[in-house]
Amino acid sequence: MTPTDATPAVVLSGAAGRIGTYLRRTDGGLAARGWGLRLLDAAEPDDVGPEETFTLADITEEESRDALETAMAGADAVVHLAGIPSEDSWTRLRRANVDGTFRVLEAARRTGVRRVVLASSNHAVGYYPLGEVARVDDTPRPDSFYGVTKVAGEALGSLYADKYGVEVVSLRIGMCADRPRTTFDLGIWLSPADVVRLVDAALRGPVDGPVVAYGVSANTRGWWDLTSARDLGYDPQDDGEVFADDVEAYDWPDVLGHGMVATDPLA
């Protein structure tokens, strides 16, 4: 999708979260790249700018349908970031990450939004051994209930792409933060500047059917295949290796899902 002369509008669900804030506030963010931002969240950010609009909506609630469709009316794209970002009970995760993603995709379909970018996660494939090249066409091996919901989100995106013609890009995002914390993070870090580059590419790049792409920076120690991300136009510039002398040693088992344990999965 190529923006027209008029400013293209993108809806950011979960706009108050960490990645939503990076996309809005990082130098050279989405607004600086020519996108008009419509913010959507269950709580209003305290820094809504004069060029941004905000819609209050809780995607876990069926009643959010009208608000979602209002926010998306006339929009060119949606970046869906809202949801629970770590392990939790199955009930909470399902409501937020599966049912919520369905509501976002359905609202996008009903309002004629052309492209939806879904925030998936590396935890969708977290039980593959570390160090082996991870390709996007490998069978998902989620490492947690959280990871299962991300696999489900990718499947919903695939359905809406194939059945309804929505252009859907699912991004398996790594550790997106200001800086890596451990030696393991040096391979999966996604910098704030690179997440802007990644999402902008996912919004603009060529799409033919559902697309899955990994989202990490150009890390020296990385092992995820960035081919599909680069095909979208993603050109990562940062490398976690610059922090190699100032991170903690990683001494967990060789899967991503260490510690991704719900205290009560049936809550």
Would you list the DSSP string of the chain? ----SSPPEEEEETTTSHHHHHHHHSTT-TTTTTPEEEEEESS--TT--TT-EEEE--TTSGGGHHHHHHHHTT-SEEEE--S--S---HHHHIIIIIIHHHHHHHHHHHHT--EEEEEEEGGGGTTSPTTS-B-TTSPP--SSHHHHHHHHHHHHHHHHHHHH--EEEEEEE-EESSS--BTTHHHHEE-HHHHHHHHHHHHHS--SS-EEEEE----TT--B--HHHHHTT------GGGGGGGSBPP-S-SSTTTT---S-TT-
In this predicted structure, what is the pLDDT of residue 199?
Answer: 98
In this predicted structure, what is the pLDDT of residue 267?
Answer: 57
The residue annotated as part of the active site, out of 146, 160, 214, 234, is 146
Q: What angle do CA 181, 187, 189 make, to 5 degrees?
A: 55
In this predicted structure, what is the pLDDT of residue 29?
Answer: 97
Strands 77-80 and 9-13: parallel
In this predicted structure, what is the pLDDT of residue 256?
Answer: 56
Could you tell me the pTM of the whole model? Answer: 0.93
Query: For residue 35, what are its two tokens?
Result: 């996108």
Domain ranges of the chain: 9-246
In this predicted structure, what is the pLDDT of residue 236?
Answer: 98
In this predicted structure, what is the pLDDT of residue 266?
Answer: 59
| Spatial CA neighbour of 169 closest among 94, 234, 123, 111 | 234
CB-neighbour burial class of residue 77 (10 A; exposed 0-12, middle 13-18, buried 19+): buried
Per residue of the chain (267 residues), give pLDDT as tens: 444 458 999 999 999 999 999 999 999 999 999 999 999 999 999 899 999 999 999 999 999 999 999 999 999 999 999 999 999 999 999 999 999 999 999 999 999 999 999 999 999 999 888 777 888 999 999 999 999 999 999 999 999 999 999 999 999 999 999 999 999 999 999 999 999 999 999 999 999 999 999 999 999 999 999 999 999 999 999 999 999 999 999 876 555 554 455 555 655
Neighbours of 183 (CB within 10 A): 16
Task: For residue 146, indicate whether it is catalytic.
Answer: yes
In this predicted structure, what is the pLDDT of residue 253?
Answer: 59
CATH class of 9-246: alpha beta
